[in-house]
Structure formats: structure tokens, C-alpha cells
Amino acid sequence: MKISVDRLRQFVALPADPREVRVLFDDLGLEVKRVHADAAFGTCFTLELLANRGDHHGYAGLATEVRGRTAGGVCLPEVASLVVGPPPVELIDEAGELLLTYTATLLERSGSTSELDPEELLPILASGQEAVSAPVDATNVANLEFGQPTHAFDADCIDGAVIIRVAKPGEKAWPLFAKEPVTLPLGALVIADRSKVLAIAGVIGCEESKTTAATKRILLESATFDPVAVRKAARGLNVHTDSSARFERGGDPSAPLVGAGRVVHLLERHGWKRVGTTGVIGQWRDPARVITVSARALGLFLDHPLTATEAADRLRRYGFAVVEDGDALSVRVPTHRLWDVENFADLAEELAKSIGYNATAEGLPPVAMGSQPSASEQAKDRVDEVLVGNGFFEVFTDGFYARDVRERLGLSEGHALWSHVETDNAIDRGYSLLKNNTLAQAVDAVAVNLRLHTKAIRAFEWTRTFHPRGEGTAPDERKTLWAIACGAAPGASWAHDDRVADVHLAVGLVAEIAVELGLALTVGAPDPTHSLASLLHPNRQAAVRLGDQVVGVLGEVHPTVLTGFKIKRERPVYLQLDQDALLRAGAPAPFVEPPEVQVVTRDLAFTLPHRFAAADVAAVLATGPGVASVGVADSFAHEQDGKPVRTITYTLAFAPERTPTAEELNELVASLIQAVHERFGAQGVSLRA
């Protein structure tokens, strides 16, 4: 809402300096989004009004809010005193409780008419609207001044009675400014005559009954409608007007005569005159809501010294009628606040605003003890540290994606990842499916960065996937950590430290995470039932297990998946871990004192046949007496007898109780070689000469 500060000064006293007015407005919750210095209208404010305060949608309401703080008076514009009596046309209420109050006043031209004066037009011109004609302008001015929407019909376009009713199924109306008639939303409240819809109640008038330069008689409507009915109609039509904004927040059912009176006053100054009396119908009766509160309790709540008299005085400034009885206040809620004032807290808010939110006391409640991060929060931090230390950047991806992700992943119906939780009303097709996997977005992140010529790609995310569990049942939300790496490690390529990320990086990450969390995570045989099994390279994937439970998967992304994301050459490696399993309390490894004797090392190279796991040989070597550790020093792929083999060089560290002689050590090594041959010799494992 855009207002003229100078115009508002005619309603209520304001500080002379517009900057102080702005501070006051902000302090009252009338947030000034923009200040305009207008040559014609002086300082104007664009206000962001509170969503629950329909009464702020007019100068009078704003003035009342200011008065609540500053005391003093509010000066309202002149209003014609309307005489209620037989309606000028027959009024029929078929809307029941949806119609609160409806008034109809007939005016007709009386000799020559004129447009409104510039001074009268100021509220609408300052708001950015244009003057149209005296009848239309008068209704707009009244709305801006009093926050009471009114509407002028060409009375000679009305066919018989005026009926307030719910739209019939499939019924059409031609709203003002629309190119053609539109079908009305189900349940919309309309103002109609015997043959057509005259207006969508509280939202907008219609073309067929609008006033024109030729209009001789006006039927002036001033009413209040059920807020929800107006809201439904406005949303259904996607038409949002000043009137609907006002009514949706709850109109003042006692205000229609005031609003109509203001319009009549303006038009009577410009050549129009009333005909007959004003008809009033409607279901609304003032509930006379009274809230009884203790002034002392209000004072305690605000931590502000507050006598009953002061509290009553402050509330009266907002229009509340207050009866004091010692500490007890009986507070009668005015009709313009029936929609938002119901209880103690509402009155406390009024008083806080009157005193000033920044003028009341503040203090921390007593706090006995702070708190520490939970074990899972600490565990998450440690995992972050592993990943960040290895060059990974945390990212956040959407909780959903487009339907074509199935195609990009190469999924077919029946695949474990085919079924998704779907959004019903997404305004963008990119939001169609709640994600049931994180691989798609991880690979997409790689594709994005490759397009941007980023060579070292390392990203991770803590997120959730959603898995349907049946209609009407909340989906299974699984918390997941994923990480993806592609290309060289981030850093200086000139030092030739540019080994491309491969599955061994993922294996190493799991090992580091296991150490950090004290979890016995192992990387081993793939789990063919895992939902990602078919989306990773069949011979370059592994399952991550905690005990017997599969808690993750790692592997190189399957080439067909990469094709779906237009990745041609690169081989991203992907890691996914179940967050809940990962962040469960681990048991840190017990400290083992390093041996005091000099560690002796020996390298042993074994040639392993294709697909033979190096760890199996290492496991046998580790069983040797005095063997403290078995490491891998080198891996060399080559051919032997025309078959692909690998030669693995293991580094054995011996830490015996005493330093062995050379002979003893040779004997020990020979026994280990023998053990490996006995165990795996038949499978083709042999000592490399």
C-alpha cells in the first residue's frame, strides 16, 4: 500500500520530519519498504502491512494505529449520514452466513456533474492509481481513506433485484478488465441480478454493470463478506484487488454505512444526489466480545510497570471499550478488531505496541547450564573434516528433480528406484519427483562442473531421500551422505600430483571415516540387491558394511549412467553412506603402545591372477608371528603367459620382542611365503621372482 504522509497528517498528528515518521511506522509494525519523494504529493511511503490486519488498509486504520502510540485524536473525513430504510432495489440474501452486511444506496445525477477535486483524489493518485470518473474515484477514495471497499453499479443495468448468492456450477461472469467472460470458481460468492452476475463479491465488479460516462443512476454497494469466501474466489480467479486484500483479512461488519457515507458525501459535492433510503441486509450481529484480563498480569508479561488505568487508557486509543474494576479490565473488542483480537496475548501485543517494543524491559531467563553437541553431531563434524581435508566441498541440492531423471539414469519400470513420491502441484517440472536417490544429482554436479571446465571435482552432501510407502502414508525418509569425485585432486598440477580420483579414493575415505568414528566399517563384496548396484560399474563397486549390515556403497559410476548425463570420458567415483548407521556411537580403537624394539621391514612381491583380491594375501601375511602390519608398496599390472595379472609388493613390518637375526628373519619370511603358496598357490598366486 502506498500512502501520502501529508494526507495522513490530516488524520493524525505525525512528527514533522518524514524520517521520524518512518521510524515511528517501523516501530508500529507498519513497515516502510520504500520512501518516495513526490513533487505533487510530498513524501509517500510504500508500506508492507501485517498479514492479519485488514484495518491497516486505509488511512483511518493507520491513524488509529499511530494514535495507539502517540495518544491524541484521529480526524476522519466528512461522511454523509445515511438514512436506513426500504432499499432502493429489492435485496435478496441467499448467501446465508457468507454475507455479513450489505448496504445499497441509490444516487442519480442532479444537473451537471463534475470530477473529484485534486485534493479529494490525492489518496488514489498518491497510491499510483489513476482517476477514472467521479463514481469510481469516490469509491476508491473511500476505500483508501476508511479501508471499506465499495462498488458503484450502473443502476440502469440491473435486472430486477440484487441477489447475493453462491455462484452456480459452471456459471460465468465477465470481470472488469477481463477480455472475456470466465467460469466462476466453485463456491464463489457473487452479487447478481435476475439475469447475470454483477460482481464477484469482495473481489471485482463486472463489465455488464459497470458505470460509464453515460451512467445516470448509481447503485452504491458497501458490504462485508466472509473472508474465506472472498479469498477462495480471488484465488480461484487469480484476481487480487485492493478490495479482496481488505476483505480477505476480515472486514469491519459495522463499517459499510461509513464507507458508503463517504462515497455519498463526495458524490453529492459533484452533482449527484441520493434517492430514497439506504437498504441494509445481512447476517452479522456484533458478538460483543469481552476479554477480561488482569492489568497486573499484563504488566508482568511485559515486565513493564502498568496500572489498570494506564492499560485501559492505552487500549482505548485503539478503539477498545474498557471497564476497570480494580486490577481487572473488561475489554470490549471493537468491530474492526474482531478478526484478530481474542485473548490475553492479543491485548498484551496491543499494549506492547502502545508502549513500544523497544521501550519495554528485556532480560534473559535463568539458565542453569549450557549444552554440548550430541554424539551424532560430533560424529558428523568428524566426517565433514575427513571429506573437507580431502578436498571435498559441501553442496546442497534440491529435494526433488524432474521426471526425466529415470531416463537419464537408465531406469526401467520394476527397478528399485523407479517408484517415487510425486509432487501434486509443482509449478516447475523440475520439482516433479521427490528424490529417491542421490546419485543423479551427484553425477549432475559433475556434469555441471565439467561444462565449466573445473578439473578437480570433489563434492559431498548430507541429505535425504524419499521412498513411497503407500498412498496416504508418509514416505520413508532416509538420511544419506554422498560424495563424488572426478578428475585430479585439487591442487597444483605442475608438481605432477595429479592422480585421477578412482574407487581407491572412496575406499580410503571409508577407512578414514571408520577411524574417525571408531566404527568397524569394512569395504567388501558388492551387494547385488543394493538399489544402486546396476548404476555403478559392475567390477568397480563395493559394499560398505558395519558388521553384517550394508550401510553404504561405493564405486565408479556406470558408463551408461554417465552417457545419460552427457559425460563422455571422465570416470567419477561415488560414495554413499547411511547417515543413521554412520552417526551411531562408535567405539574408538584402544591405544596400543608402539613397539620399543626397532621395526624391521621386508618387501614381498606376489603375482596375483586377474580378479584376485590383494587383501586376501595380505590377510595371510598378517598372521605371521611378529608381523605388526602389512602394507602395499606397489601394484603393477602386466601379462604373464598371455594372461592379465598384477604384481603386488607388500611391505611387512616385523616388531618382535627382540631384534631377530638375519637368519631368523629369512626363516620367518620363508614361512609366510610358504603359507601364501599353500593357501592360494592352486589359484595362481606366486612369489614374484
Partner 1 sequence: MAAATAEIDAHKAIVEAAAVAARLDAEWLDLSMPGTAPLRGARHPLTVVEARCLAVLRQLGFTVVDGPEVETAYYNFDALNIPKHHPARDMQDTFWVSGGLLLRSHTTTVQARVLQSKPPLPIRVASMGRVYRNEAVDATHLAMFHQFEGIWIDRGLTFAHLKGVLAFVAKSLYGDHRVRFKPKFYPYTEPSVGVDLACTVCDTAGCDACHGAGWVTILGAGMVHPNVFREFGYDPAEVSGIAFGLGTARMAAQAAGVHKIRSLYETDLRVHAALRGAR
Stretch that binds partner 1, among 192-200, 341-349, 502-510, 565-573 (CB under 8 A): 341-349
The three three-digit cell numbers of residue 588, written as one number? 574408538
Range 485-504, binding partner 1 (CB under 8 A): 489-492, 494-495, 497
212 touching partner 1, by CB under 8 A: no
Name the nearest CA neighbour of 262 among 82, 395, 426, 388: 82
Asked if residue 357 lies in contact with residue 336, where contact means CB atoms within 8 angstroms, the answer is no
CB of 19 to partner 1, least distance (A): 9
305 touching partner 1, by CB under 8 A: no
Q: Report the C-alpha gap between 134 and 117 in whole angstroms.
A: 9
Stretch that binds partner 1, among 93-101, 459-467, 513-521, 651-659 (CB under 8 A): 459-467
Helix (H) or strand (E) holding 400: strand 400-401
Contacting residue, 472, 528, 590, 642, with partner 1 by CB under 8 A: 472
Range 32-51, binding partner 1 (CB under 8 A): 32-35, 50-51
454 touching partner 1, by CB under 8 A: yes
Closer residue to partner 1 in complex, CB, 304/688: 304
Name the nearest CA neighbour of 273 among 200, 211, 220, 203: 220
1 touching partner 1, by CB under 8 A: no
Q: At what angle do helices 59-70 and 18-28 cross, to 10 degrees?
A: 90
CB of 271 to partner 1, least distance (A): 39
Closer residue to partner 1 in complex, CB, 39/368: 368
365 touching partner 1, by CB under 8 A: yes
Asked if residue 178 lies in contact with residue 188, where contact means CB atoms within 8 angstroms, the answer is no
Asked if residue 52 lies in contact with residue 249, where contact means CB atoms within 8 angstroms, the answer is yes
Range 243-302, binding partner 1 (CB under 8 A): 248-249, 300-302
Contacting residue, 399, 410, 624, 684, with partner 1 by CB under 8 A: 399
CB of 114 to partner 1, least distance (A): 39
- Determine whether 103 is exposed, middle or buried from the number of CB atoms within 10 Å of its CB (0-12, 13-18, 19+): buried
Q: Report the C-alpha gap between 481 and 552 in whole angstroms.
A: 9
Contacting residue, 16, 213, 368, 682, with partner 1 by CB under 8 A: 368
Closer residue to partner 1 in complex, CB, 494/591: 494
Range 103-122, binding partner 1 (CB under 8 A): none
* Residue keyed to cell 559431498: 460
Asked if residue 344 lies in contact with residue 302, where contact means CB atoms within 8 angstroms, the answer is no
Range 501-560, binding partner 1 (CB under 8 A): none
Contacting residue, 458, 530, 545, 558, with partner 1 by CB under 8 A: 458
Closer residue to partner 1 in complex, CB, 38/115: 38
Range 402-431, binding partner 1 (CB under 8 A): 421-428, 431
Give the HSE-up count for residue 374: Cα atoms under 13 Å, Cβ half-sphere: 6
**Can you say whether residue 472 is alpha, beta or left, with left for phi > 0 and alpha for psi between -120 and 50 degrees?**
left
Q: Are strands 91-93 and 162-166 parallel, antiparallel or unpaired?
A: parallel
Size of the site for partner 1 (CB under 8 A): 103
Asked if residue 539 lies in contact with residue 388, where contact means CB atoms within 8 angstroms, the answer is no
Contacting residue, 20, 377, 407, 678, with partner 1 by CB under 8 A: 377
